[in-house]
Amino acid sequence: MTTARRYEPATVTIKEGDTVTFSNTSEEPHSVTAYEGRIPAGARYFSTGGFSTEEMARDNVSGGLVQKGDAFEVTLTKPGVYEYFCVPHENQGMKGEIVVEG
């Protein structure tokens, strides 16, 4: 998560069962929030703040923010594409995807 309000890299490819770490190197807080309808069927939903749905994450923005110097990790065990975004900066294009290969 960068000061340019981007995830770098925007697309990451991992193996099934790998963990992705999102580190906030920006001066401002960001979130990592999965699009509920854009993750593989049956996959576990993820978001900073531990919310279980996208709606909950959108309704409590401050509860899901990652501050400068902090990190968020997610382990993905189901192959497919996981799309995610930053709630406060979604409209500015802060989006990314994780491709999980089986």
Q: Is a pLDDT exceeding 90 seen at residue 3?
A: no
Reading the block at residue 64, the tokens are 């899901």
Given the residues 1, 74, 94, 100, select the one marked as catalytic: 94
Given the residues 32, 76, 86, 100, select the one marked as catalytic: 86
User: Model pTM?
Assistant: 0.95
Given the residues 6, 7, 24, 30, select the one marked as catalytic: 30
Give the pLDDT band (50/70/90) at residue 2.
confident
Interval 85-100: pLDDT, tens: 999 999 999 999 999 9
Q: What mean pLDDT comes out for the span 30-38?
A: 97
Given the residues 89, 96, 98, 100, select the one marked as catalytic: 89
In terms of C-beta density within 10 A (0-12 exposed, 13-18 middle, 19 or more buried), how is residue 50 classed?
exposed
Amino acid 35 reads Y
Sequence-separated contacts (24+) of 71-74 with Cβ below 8 Å: 71/21, 71/22, 71/23, 71/24, 72/21, 72/22, 72/32, 72/48, 73/19, 73/20, 73/21, 73/22, 74/19, 74/20, 74/22, 74/32, 74/46
Q: What is the residue-averaged pLDDT of the chain?
A: 96
Rounded alpha-carbon distances, angstroms, from residue 46 to 3, 24, 27, 35, 92: 23, 17, 23, 9, 21
For the chain, which domains are there?
11-101 (2.60.40.420)
Interval 57-85: pLDDT, tens: 999 999 999 999 999 999 999 999 999 99
Active site residue 86: yes
Active site residue 94: yes
Q: What mean pLDDT comes out for the span 16-36?
A: 97
